[in-house]
Chains A and B, each alone.
Chain A
Amino acid sequence: MKKGAERKKILFLATVLLMIVFTASMVFSEGAPVNIGDTAKTTTALNFREAAGMTGKIAKVLVRNTEVTVLNKVGGWYQVKLSDGKVGYVYAKYLMLAQAAAKAENQPAVQPAAEPVFKAEPTMVLATTTSTRDTGLLDVLMPAFDKKYGVTTKVVSVGTGEAIEMGKRGDADVILVHARKSEDEFVASGFGVNRKDVMYNFFFLVGPKDDPVGVADLKTVQEAMAKVASSKAKFVSRGDQSGTHKKELAIWSTYGIKPQGEAWYMESGQGMGDTLMMAGEMGAYTLVDSGTWFAFQDKVNLKVVLQGDPILFNPYGVIAVNPEKYPNIHHNAANAFIYFITSDEGQKMIADYKKNGQQLFMPDAK
């Protein structure tokens, strides 16, 4: 009798478990299954690997809504062909039928939300990173924002470190930066409010065109940079506590490498453009954000030697400075800006911004 009850219990639990799994898989498969021969779209930024499985070398990262042709299914992976003919593997979960994707996009918004009204102050100081200025994105975004809300924005373009410091001192009303850890600290310490994801791009490891160290054959950026260090190839670092510099330091630290002070390791202490040109002049390796790279690739004698490692993902966030810390902060203008840059309008401008035919930033506001 007792045994029977226990059995029932197990059966019940198993049923519940099965139901959960089924529900989950249904959510993930987004309704229409993708079959061999179908044209599908990626539903997120997706690693494109040379072999099926998490250990397959990442050839590149596909941006959201990249169209691929499905060739085969291998376990949880699809073998796909890109528009340029390259064949590789992507995780099945993140593919969606092209028609289904188009349908989802064409569906009119059920209720066009009324735009909130901001009593924006006449001026606003935006502290942001050199990469947003050097790429020219702000030259497109800011005039549109200024016109729409009647604000005159002063853009101060510095490293992420200084931008955050400016926010802490109340010298800026809103900041647009890329260093997630520092951003969270900024909010946690009460200086920042209303943080929102805005967009992302990637970091590339670039180096001399002949790649003397042979970094391109390696899988991860940690291995690549460890090889640069062990063969004492020249490496130019930002050395300025910028978002890019922090990312670089995090990569060195995986293998406990301390390059500071080595003759092959040069800390420029300058912006991304200057640092990249320096690397070009010296035939050195350096870490660069994709936006700056696309803007500069014709001007420097370098090439991308490694990309697509998930560690090289580079998200940008926008944060308003807390008006409780500084009552004279132009908080309404800051909120208007945050609304604008994360709205469909601002996001579309980011998506449409191209240089040398390349989209520089992928919008990802939620």
Chain B
Amino acid sequence: MQAVQLLVSFDPELYGIIFLSIRVSTAAVLISFIIGVPIGVLIAMNRFPGKVLLVNVVNTFMGVPPVVIGLTVYVLLSNQMGLFGDLRLLFTPTAMLIAQVLLAAPIITGLTIVAVQGVDKHIRHTAVSLGATPGQLAWTIVREARYGIGASVIVAFGRLMAEVGAVMMVGGNIRFQTRVMTTAIALHKGMGEFQNALALGMILLLISFIINSGVDFLRRGRGLES
């Protein structure tokens, strides 16, 4: 009930928090998509020495605890000790974006590898025998693997929206600046305001549901079309 009340109250602070969550996570997923899909396709379609090792590394990074990523980014961006401290990026949305890309890119890469490898070998052989160039071949296979790749986007987005450790560390949960849904929930819990924390949790669930439904709708739409 309070979740609804909060939403219809049109509190600018709340909407700022929601908007920042969506903005950072969406941008991170898009960037990860641009990085992860080509790499995943390349790894899946080619044979080269060390492929198994590389796939294992990617799979490991899919499961890295966000706090470890957060810590790494913090150390790199820190003004006191970091390589990139001069950029003064720590405690900005950009720092959160960097951490989230590091979280999401391995997920999209790893799941793309699985999806591409799952494409029926006959399709590949047919395309090659029909004289497809490597580019056309890749495009055909990505089209066939689109469900799996779409799923990777949903998984990655879900993980980013739900993530609290890394954004807390590198974003700093600064009010009006880097506070997102998850860190706001942690804060309200920390102040003993369980009502607010639960309400925010409900809103977070609702948003995830809407976005996943949207992505799913897009996927289905294209599926029917072809």
Q: Which residues of A contact B (CB under 8 A)?
A: 158-159, 161-162, 164-166, 239-241, 260-261, 263, 266-270, 274, 278, 280-283, 300-301
Contacts and interface: CB of A to CB of B under 8 A. Distances in A.
B187 A281 contact: no
A320 to B, nearest CB: 19
B170 to A, nearest CB: 11
B172 A280 contact: no
Nearest to B77: A281
Contacts, number: 62
B91 A281 contact: yes
B191 to A, nearest CB: 5
B176 A270 contact: no
Given A281-B80, A282-B79, A301-B80, 19 more contacts: A162-B191, A162-B192, A239-B187, A241-B191, A260-B175, A263-B177, A266-B174, A266-B177, A268-B172, A269-B173, A269-B183, A269-B184, A270-B172, A274-B172, A278-B91, A281-B79, A281-B91, A282-B91, A283-B79
B192 A281 contact: no
Contact of B174 (A159, A166, A268): A268
B78 A159 contact: no
A237 to B, nearest CB: 8
B190 interface: yes
Interface string B172-199: 1111110100011011011110000000
A7 B176 CA distance: 72
Given A159-B191, A301-B80, A281 B175 contact: no
A334 B58 CA distance: 51
A79 to B, nearest CB: 42
A281 B78 contact: yes
Contacts of B173: 268-270
A-B pairs, top 3 by smallest CB distance, nearest first, are A165-B192, A267-B175, A269-B187
A159 B91 CA distance: 22
A162 B91 contact: no
> Interface on chain B toward A: helix, strand, loop, or mixed SS?
loop
B172 A278 contact: yes
A239 B192 contact: no
A268 B168 CA distance: 9
A240 B172 contact: no
Contacts of A274: 172
Most buried by A among B78, B80, B190: B190
Interface string B59-86: 0000000000000000000111000000
Contacts of A278: 91, 172
B41 to A, nearest CB: 39
B192 A161 contact: yes
18 contacts: A158-B190, A159-B191, A161-B191, A162-B189, A162-B190, A165-B191, A166-B192, A240-B190, A260-B175, A267-B176, A268-B172, A269-B173, A270-B172, A274-B172, A278-B172, A281-B78, A281-B79, A301-B80
A286 to B, nearest CB: 12
Contacts of B80: 280-281, 300-301
A281 B90 contact: yes
Nearest to B173: A269
Contact of A269 (B79, B91, B175): B175
B166 to A, nearest CB: 14
A280 B79 CA distance: 9
A97 to B, nearest CB: 48
B176 A269 contact: no
B172 A266 contact: yes
B179 A269 contact: yes
A267 B174 contact: yes
Interface string B29-55: 000000000000000000000000000
A82 B79 CA distance: 38
Nearest to A127: B192
Contacts of B175: 239, 260-261, 266-267, 269
A282 B186 CA distance: 23
Contacts of A283: 79
B176 to A, nearest CB: 6
Contacts of B190: 158-159, 162, 240, 269
